[in-house]
Structure formats: C-alpha cells, structure tokens
Copies of this chain bind each other. A is one copy, B any other.
C-alpha cells in the first residue's frame, strides 16, 4: 500500500475551489487502486492523505485529464504553497472501531 501526503496552504483566491475538490475526490474514488482518502485542516495548513494499492495507480491518477487541469489550477490559483510525499506504507495498525479505518479493511 502507498500513501500520498499532500500538505498545503491556500491562496486568497478560492473561487471554484470547493467544487473542484468535490469533483477530484469523486474521480479519485473511481480510479483503479484507490483505497481511501482523508482531508482536514484550515486555510493556513491543511492535509489530504490518499491511500493507493500501488505506484501505478498513483501515476495513472496523476495523469487523469481532469486531474491535470486541477493540478494546473492548484499551482496558478488555489495554493500558495504545497508539499507532496509519495510513501510506501511499511507498517499499518489500528485501535478501536475497525469501521473507522477504511484503509485497513
């Protein structure tokens, strides 16, 4: 399993952002190899973590035509800064309700 950690600070021009974010999640969930997604935070510091079966799934999602346009808008308009890490999950465990942990089910 792989995790993509996207940490960002928003710009001041957020017109259209929410609709784009909703559409991107809808599309990502349809991708082969998509496992789970969480996002949280506020304008100054937010993170989106997505979990994927393998690196090829991540590469295919990166090349999705609507996602490419979203990436372009992210750089030109919505994000002031971001960092992205592509990570191989070496260990994963959980505590509590298994239904809280879609990536483990």
Contact = CB atoms under 8 A, between A and B. Distances in A.
A97 B85 contact: no
Interface residues of A, number: 37
Nearest to A4: B91
Contacts of A65: none
B83 A93 contact: yes
Q: What's the dominant secondary structure at chain A's contact region?
A: strand
Contact of A87 (B3, B38, B75): B3
A93 B84 CA distance: 5
A60 interface: no
Interface of A: 3, 5, 7, 9, 38, 40-42, 45-47, 49, 55, 75, 79-97, 100-101, 103-104
